Structures are given as structure tokens and as C-alpha cells.
Amino acid sequence: MVVRSLHLSNFRNYASQDLTLPPGLVALTGDNGQGKTNLLEALCVLSTTKSPLIERDRDLIRWEQRQARLEAEIELSSRMASGREGERRHLFYDWRLEGNSVAREMRVGGVPQSAIAQWLGQLQVVAFFPHDLVLITGDPSERRRFLNLELGKTRPSHFADAARYRRVLQQRNALLKYFLDRRGKSQSTSGEPNAGLGTLSEWNRQLVTYGARILEQRTQFLHELAPILAEVHRGLSGIAGQTLTIEYVAGVKNARDESWSRAFGTALEADYDTDLRRGNTQSGPHRDDLVFWLGSMDLRRFGSQGQQRLAVLSLKIALARWVRDTTGESPILLLDDALSELDGTRRALVLQHASTFEQSILTATDETFIHGAPAHVFQVAAGRVRDADYADIC
């Protein structure tokens, strides 16, 4: 997969920008604050409809403007879409301010896409931003969000299951809260939970249905990713004796060889009294977490920032390889300021990995970081992009 062209209108600090991108390694160079990261962010928004850097869609629209647009022409390399290699796909993403809300419209060619599950996978990107260290240092919700997003981009059914699970969980918790409130208003709780037991049983059934699928998909994903991650990190770190692993701490206790469906159902039964007493659901994939281990060291608790950064960078490169193996389509690897804190040897290794994908786009403040790499260079300044002299850089 290759982004052949990109158009931005009123996006971040870009009033209007058209950019023709070549395949292979692409470098965006320039000082901080000029708009390099915004170009990578635009591709992430086109991929998932969400920015990985901010929460509010309205903040993506250029200052004092009320609407914005992103367009991209994508060239596919596999036969996954129509059976024709080299098929081109046009993506359009528009959003506008309507009072205090933001309305958006997504189209592939001229066909509107009303559901995000339809949109995910149209443009496959894997992105590293310095902020991604929260995958190790942040709250468990950051790691669950990572699992949902990356699985959803390759397996839209997972995204749909996660959305259904959230809705059912909200309904079950609302019912539990109702029981808790009723209990607080009466000294006698005799029979009150049973008044809604049939409804609670139905929410349990749906919660297990969708939750078990999520647990199974996450388990399989991490199992498939593990050897790739270990290999990539070993190559980048140069340390053979310390393997980078991810431990899946599931929100459901599971005996060995027990199905997730059976384990989740058993957990809900065991938690029944506690759920009623607390007014929320104690077990389920909404309680999942990940622990990053470097050998026997918990990176969150004891890892240095450099070790954490290299682990997350290794994760993103491994993830891109997993996407390619899983879908048959090479994703676009985006690396924002990934080279600045690495020594020369590791920079060369990262660039070597990036060069194995059909297209990788990276940002750098110092052009010497990419010296010797087969990169096509663009210079970014004040929200404008200029095609640099390739020969002068390489």
C-alpha cells in the first residue's frame, strides 16, 4: 500500500497543501513546530477517523475556520480488494463545525461510508509518536485502546464486537447501579435484586458472547505478535540475552485450556454479590491490561525512558510486519521523531527496517539523521512543503 497523493485543506496549520508522495522511504525535515507531525497525523485521521494526539475533532480544523478536508489517493499492492494489483482508491474525509458539535462525512470514491467499521482498513497505517510511551507508562485504558484500534484496523469484526460489548456493559452497570440505589433507600433488600434478575441474565449472556470474542482475538493477536516483537527488539537493542515480551493480564481469570466463554461466565457468577454491592462489573475485557517485560524487568516500574522508547518503537515496527503478514498488504509505517534519541547504529537499523515496507514516512529535525539512507526528502516550513534536492541529501 502506498499513498500516492495527499491533500489537506484547513487541517491544523495547513491552509491548503497538495503533496505527491513516492513509494519507499520518505523523510519530512524541518524545525519543530512547522507542520511535519501534522502530515503524519492527517494520515492517521484518514486511517481511523481519529487523531492519536488530541481528543477533540474540532481542534484539527485550522484556527478561525469552520470546515476541513483530507483527501488521499491510495495504491494497493495486493489483490485483496478487487483482484487487481495496483488498484487505486480515493479517500475523502470532511468535517465541519455545526454549533458546538462536529459533523463529518467519509467517502471512498463517491460512496459514503456511514459506519467506522466500513472505513477501517481502507488505509492501513502503523504510527509511532513520542507520546506512545503511554503504552507502557500510562493507564491500562491506553493499552486497551491500543488493542482495540490495532485489531479493529485489520479485523473490523473486532471493532464491532468491542462497540457492542461497551453498550452491553453500560446497560448491565446501569442495572447494577439501580439495584445499589434501591438497596441504599431501603434497609431491607429482600427480593429486590431478583426483580430484575431476568434482565441481568440477558445482559450476562450478551456480555459473555461479545466479551469472549474480544478475549480470544486479543490472545491470538499477542501470540502472533510475540516472536516478531522479540526479533525486532533484539536487532535494535543489540542485547541477545534480554527478550522483550508482552504479558496479557486478562480481566477474566481463566484456567488452563478453558474456553474464554466458559471462564467469563464462571467469573460473572462468582462476582455476582460483589457486582451488586459495588454497582459495576468486576470481570471482563474492560479490565484487561498488558505488562511489558524486558527479560525479568517490568519496564513500566523499572525501565529507563530510553528502554521504554526503544520497546515502543520495536512494538510499532513489529506491528507493521504483523499487519503485512496478516492482511497481505504492506501498511504505511509512520515514524515521528523516532531517530532523535538514538545513536548512529540504531538509527541505521530503524531506517533499514523502515525500508522494508512499500512506503515509510518519517520526520526529522536534522537531515544528517537520514544521511546515506535511500530517502526522498521534503522540507517543511510554516505549513508549506517543498520537495528537497534528493541528490544533495543522499
> What mean pLDDT comes out for the span 337-364?
94
379 forms beta bridges with: 29, 386
- The domains of the chain, with CATH numbers, are 1-124+329-394 (3.40.50.300)
112 forms beta bridges with: 107
Cβ atoms of 61 and 41 closer than 8 Å: no
Q: How confident is the model at residue 110 (pLDDT cuts 50, 70, 90)?
A: confident
- The residues, any chain, with a CB within 8 Å of residue 325's CB and separated by 6 or more, are 224, 228
Q: What is the pLDDT of residue 393?
A: 39
> What mean pLDDT comes out for the span 348-365?
96
Q: What is the pLDDT of residue 198?
A: 62
Which tens digits make up the pLDDT trace of 67-78? Answer: 999 999 999 986
Which tens digits make up the pLDDT trace of 247-279? Answer: 999 999 987 778 999 999 999 999 999 999 999
Strand duo 332-335 + 359-364: pairing: parallel
**What average pLDDT does the structure give for the chain?**
90
Whether the per-residue pLDDT at 195 is higher than 70: the answer is: no
> What mean pLDDT comes out for the span 170-183?
90
Q: How far apart are CA 357 and CA 26, in angstroms?
A: 11
- The residues, any chain, with a CB within 8 Å of residue 248's CB and separated by 6 or more, are 218, 219, 222, 288, 290
Q: What is the pLDDT of residue 6?
A: 97
Encode 278-296: b = buried (16+ Cβ within 10 Å), e = exposed.
Answer: ebbbebbbbebebbbbbee
Instruction: Report in angstroms the alpha-carbon separations of 206 from 138, 198, 274, 277.
Output: 30, 13, 20, 22
Q: What is the model's pTM? A: 0.92
Q: What is the pLDDT of residue 240?
A: 77
Instruction: Choose among 95, 93, 68: nearest CA to 12.
Output: 68
Which tens digits make up the pLDDT trace of 3-53? Answer: 999 999 999 999 999 999 999 999 999 999 999 999 999 999 999 999 999
Which tens digits make up the pLDDT trace of 135-176? Answer: 999 999 999 999 999 998 888 889 889 999 999 999 999 999
Q: How confident is the model at residue 183 (pLDDT cuts 50, 70, 90)?
A: confident
Cβ atoms of 9 and 69 closer than 8 Å: yes
Cell numbers that stand for 265 in this block: 461466565
Question: What one-letter code names the amino acid at 354?
Answer: A
Q: What is the pLDDT of residue 254?
A: 83
Whether the per-residue pLDDT at 304 is higher than 80: the answer is: yes
Q: How confident is the model at residue 190 (pLDDT cuts 50, 70, 90)?
A: very low
